[in-house]
């Protein structure tokens, strides 16, 4: 079986073709944990990017005007934005079906525009308005809004960008014409369709189109303007305010709100309380970011390389060196034995077939729980089983729920041995998930990088009287000495 995991594999082109075009080589099995950061559009020397940034902010300002002036907002369609799943970016470890910005977001942003952020778009301190500002204080507008909203507003550009690549580098049978709603008619207040010739999943029946995204507008985790950065640098931000009266008033208020020997949560609450009293702090923070815009491009490039080196290359290496050489996909027991066999297969690959190497770069361990979860997902490629990641049935998300019909399901959880919460998680977590998901069975997979970590796990399992439990799979990812060097 040939696994066509990446865009370049699927369309039989070299990765360097995408690199030279500037596009990310996306994974067509599950989303990559990358996001569009509108600040990178603002910070770019590319005039087209700068225009796109103004377009994003301009649309948001138009929505603010509607939210304030329109009395009847029972129709929330203008404030709802679907996830652009065809770019294969986001948090899904299985497929590309995200939630997008629905009714809850619509109500929260309408409320924000009629409350704390009523002056959005009228800033005088910063050179431009920035949509990230809406996520800097608890307004009910989360950081996931940034990428989803931006992708919707620059969708026409992304479609044109992808179409150019397709016509230049792909075969005719690998392209198809699609009509996509991407042009906003301001007069009619509706989104209109436009036709594009795009790459699509041509090996599948009714295959969907695929979007490419320029690497230089992507980031990992948080955008350059983000809440945790604001809190962490709060004192420097307030002390940099040139207006001495305002600076003194802010500092005086903040230190009154701060209890003696504050904990992290108390510090964050004092910051939030001070910002609500002095909203202009947000503009001074953003001004500071505007002054460091070159840093945003450097950080983004570093994060993209990290994802490519530590996640994408790891997944590909695992796929190419192991999965393609096995008859693994012929296994068809029940969900528990199916999941257990795959977990043990993963263990065997890592411990006995040099699979541990993919978890190290320059001698340092790189695999996070996210990485091992995504690798495990690959062992289900072309499987008839229903493999859902981060299933949330009211008690928090489980890593995977494997099922074959309504009466056969298994929860699988992944942990790093170095986790400080390992003991509690082993005792409680999957039992909670099992009850919430009505799963029959559970499997726990623990990745160890050092001998002390293995000893730690052994001690925990012994105390729990679970040292021989078949459903707890401990993987030894310690670097091994080559067999040729053993005397």
Each residue's pLDDT tens digit, 146-171: 888 999 999 999 999 999 999 999 99
3-state secondary structure 288-346: HHHHCHHHHHHHHHHHHHHHHHHHHHHHHHHHHHCHHHCCHHHCCCCHHHHHHHHHHHH
Cα distances from 114 to residues 14, 59, 139, 444, in angstroms, run 51, 17, 11, 47
- 86, two tokens: 């065809």
- The DSSP bridge partners found for residue 416 are 447
Residue 74 confidence (pLDDT) above 80: no
Per-residue pLDDT averaged across 364-386, rounded? 60
Residue 90 confidence (pLDDT) above 60: yes
pLDDT digits (tens, 9 = 90+) for 29-65: 777 878 899 999 999 999 999 999 999 999 999 999 9
Residue 340 CA to its chain's centroid (Å): 27
Residue 139 confidence (pLDDT) above 70: no
pLDDT digits (tens, 9 = 90+) for 23-38: 999 888 777 878 899 9
Per-residue pLDDT averaged across 279-290, rounded? 94
Sequence length of the chain is 487
Greatest alpha-carbon pair distance for the chain in Å reads 82
Residue 483 confidence (pLDDT) above 60: no
Q: Which residue has the higher pLDDT, 139 or 433?
A: 139
- The pLDDT-based confidence of 407 (bands split at 50, 70, 90) is low
- The pLDDT-based confidence of 392 (bands split at 50, 70, 90) is very low
Per-residue pLDDT averaged across 314-321, rounded? 63
């Amino acid at each position: 079986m040939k696994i066509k995991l990446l865009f370049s594999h699927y369309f039989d082109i070299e990765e360097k073709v995408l690199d030279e075009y500037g596009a990310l080589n996306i994974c067509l099995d599950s989303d990559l944990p990358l996001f569009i950061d509108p600040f990178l559009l603002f910070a770019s020397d590319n005039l087209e990017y700068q225009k796109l940034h103004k377009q994003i902010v301009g649309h948001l300002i138009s929505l603010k005007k509607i939210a304030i002036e329109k009395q009847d907002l029972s129709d929330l369609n203008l404030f709802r934005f679907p996830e652009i799943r065809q770019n294969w970016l986001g948090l899904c470890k299985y497929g590309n079906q995200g939630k997008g910005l629905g009714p809850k977001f619509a109500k929260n942003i309408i409320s924000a525009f009629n409350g704390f952020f009523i002056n959005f778009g009228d800033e005088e301190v910063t050179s431009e308005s920035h949509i990230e500002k809406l996520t800097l204080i608890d307004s009910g507008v989360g950081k996931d809004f940034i990428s989803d909203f931006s992708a919707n507003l620059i969708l026409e550009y992304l479609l044109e960008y992808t179409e150019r690549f397709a016509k230049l580098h792909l075969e005719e049978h690998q392209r198809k014409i699609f009509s996509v709603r991407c042009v906003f008619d301001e007069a009619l207040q509706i989104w209109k369709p436009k036709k594009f010739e795009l790459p699509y999943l041509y090996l599948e029946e009714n295959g969907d189109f695929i979007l490419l995204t320029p690497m230089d507008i992507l980031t990992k985790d948080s955008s350059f303007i983000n809440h945790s950065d604001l809190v962490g640098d709060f004192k420097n931000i307030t002390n940099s305010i040139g207006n001495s009266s305002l600076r003194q008033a802010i500092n005086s208020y903040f230190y009154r709100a701060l209890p003696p020997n504050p904990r992290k949560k108390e510090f964050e609450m004092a910051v939030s309380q001070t910002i609500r009293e002095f909203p202009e702090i947000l503009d001074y923070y953003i001004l500071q970011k505007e002054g460091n815009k070159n840093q945003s491009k450097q950080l983004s490039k570093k994060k993209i390389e990290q994802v490519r080196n530590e996640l994408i290359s790891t997944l590909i290496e695992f796929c190419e060196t192991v999965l393609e050489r096995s008859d693994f996909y012929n296994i068809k027991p029940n969900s528990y034995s199916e999941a257990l066999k795959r977990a043990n297969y993963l263990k065997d690959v890592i411990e006995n077939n040099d699979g541990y190497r993919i978890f190290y770069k320059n001698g340092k361990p790189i695999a996070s729980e996210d990485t091992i979860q995504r690798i495990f997902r690959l062992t289900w490629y072309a499987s008839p089983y229903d493999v859902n990641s981060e299933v949330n049935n009211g008690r928090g998300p489980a890593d995977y729920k494997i099922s074959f019909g309504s009466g056969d399901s298994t929860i699988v959880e992944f942990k790093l041995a170095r986790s400080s919460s390992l003991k509690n998680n082993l005792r409680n977590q999957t039992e909670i998930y099992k009850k919430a998901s009505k799963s029959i069975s559970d499997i726990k997979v623990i990745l160890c990088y050092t001998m002390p970590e293995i000893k730690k796990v052994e001690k925990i399992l012994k105390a729990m009287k679970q040292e021989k439990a078949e459903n707890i799979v401990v993987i030894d990812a310690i670097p091994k000495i080559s067999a040729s060097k053993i005397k």
